[in-house]
């Protein structure tokens, strides 16, 4: 999943993770580190 405007790539995201990404990252501005893709991936 790619989140903009930051251009953050999350990997292995499941339906169960969407709420956490929305609440923590999109609303709260805090990245969900356990789902972040390594920079080398893209």
Q: Give the CATH number for residue 21.
A: 3.40.30.10
Does position 5 have pLDDT exceeding 90, yes or no? no
Render pLDDT for 25-41 as a digit per residue (tens, 0 to 9).
999 999 999 999 998 88
What's the domain range around 36? 2-41
The total number of structural domains in the chain stands at 1
Q: Is the distance from CB of 13 to CB of 1 less than 8 angstroms?
A: yes
Distance CA 39, CA 10 (A): 11
Does position 18 have pLDDT exceeding 90, yes or no? yes
pTM > 0.75: yes or no = yes
DSSP 2-32: EETTTTEEB-S--HHHHHHIIIIIIIT----
Instruction: Please tell me the predicted confidence (pLDDT) of residue 16.
Output: 96
């Amino acid at each position: 999943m790619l989140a903009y405007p930051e251009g953050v790539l999350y990997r292995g995201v499941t339906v169960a993770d969407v709420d956490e990404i929305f609440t923590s990252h999109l609303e709260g501005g805090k990245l969900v580190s356990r789902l972040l893709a390594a920079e080398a991936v893209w």
